[in-house]
Structure formats: structure tokens, C-alpha cells
Amino acid sequence: MINIPNYVIEWTDKYFHQSAFDVPVNYPSKKVLKFFVHFKKPDKVTLYRGVNKYNKDNREITSWTYDKKIAENYIKDGGKIMEKEFPSENILLDTTTLNTKQKKLLGYDYKIDDKEVLIII
């Protein structure tokens, strides 16, 4: 198992808990970006995002999912589903590469696993 440094834990915990309420989070430091290379898949991935009035203006880092049904949960009050293919270099963190302990450590402690992938532009 990869040892996750505190500076990564602090950023991800803040991201996961603030983004759930559509609160902007600071862009990750170069150290955080470099560390996340450990959690990337080498290939392109096709992902889905439910875009609504609360998250449509998010730009630098956005949350996507492998599961279209999960994306649909984010447009219950109106919005649309986006589908897009991303190359590996746009993937900041793919939570499907984490084990349960790593998810909890990083603050990804939701009751339902959204199969979340953080995309960076």
C-alpha cells in the first residue's frame, strides 16, 4: 500500500467535503499533483457528469463518474448529463484505484461510492 502524505490528505479531505456542497476548492499544489500520479489509469476513460445550476461553472477541477446512473442523481432538479472521454493526463484522481482504507484516509467517506474521478483542466 502506498503511504499517503498529510499534505495530500488535507487537500483531498477539503475537496471531497466542500465539493459536495459546490464550494470552490483551491487548486492542488505541485506536490499534490505529483503524488496523484500513483492513482491514475494509463488509458483513456469515458465518464459522465450531471451538470446542474449549482455546478455548471466549475472549471479547474470537476468530478465525473464511470456510472451514468450516478450522474443522473445530480440532475434531479434540472440539468443535463455530459459524456466525455478523457486522456490519462487529465485525470487527477480516480477513486476506483483506491482501497477502502485509502478512501477513508483521503476523506472520500460517502455512504454511496460514486466511482468518482477528479478531472483537471
Assess if residue 29 is contained within a domain. yes
Assess if residue 1 is contained within a domain. no
Q: Which pLDDT tens digit goes with each residue over 45-90?
A: 999 998 877 666 666 788 899 999 999 988 877 889 999 999 999 9
Range of 100's domain? 6-120
The per-type count for the chain, helices as H runs and strands as E runs, is 4, 5
Q: How far apart are CA 48 and CA 81, in angstroms?
A: 7
Q: Which pLDDT tens digit goes with each residue over 48-60?
A: 998 877 666 666 7
Q: Domain count of the chain?
A: 1
